Copies of this chain bind each other. A is one copy, B any other.
């Protein structure tokens, strides 16, 4: 028999109820969902989540630089650099050099990359549908709206200055 809550016992300590705590619940949900999808392709294509995200972005926007990929995936540039190294190595991404700025790379999916993409993207979408199927139409609409709000402007700073640094995580 599991121990019982001590709330009453130590009213002065006001412990968190983890299972009702928003950040905790989000974390569990996010991990569960992402893991379910990753399980579909990870072993099959030897593809990590970060690599897949890079591919997904390059599928929509050809010719991006690594930095632009980082912005659009909300990953930091080190993670992107590593993912790209593996993807290029595996022949899934073509990497050229920007004319006029030799620092920048110019990235796109290769044929092999597209083949992987065209298998993984539908699987990912199917998983998303599975998750959403647990909700009715109303709930789906609210969820979308809520996420828009929560993900929107990082946090309205007291006054007007555009705050710096905060976008590093979300970008």
Contact = CB atoms under 8 A, between A and B. Distances in A.
B151 A146 contact: no
Given A23-B128, A169-B35, A14 B121 contact: yes
Interface of A is mostly: helix
Category for how many chain A residues contact B: 35 or more
Nearest to A148: B25
B3 A61 contact: yes
A121 B59 contact: no
Q: Which residue among A18, A73, A143, A147 has the maximum number of chain B CB atoms within 10 Å of its CB?
A: A143
A61 B73 CA distance: 39
B56 A18 contact: yes
A3 B64 contact: yes
B149 A25 contact: no
Contact of A60 (B16, B35, B127): B16
Interface stretch (A79-87, A88-96, A130-138): A130-138
Contacts of A27: 30, 34
Interface string A85-125: 00000000000000000000000000000100110011011
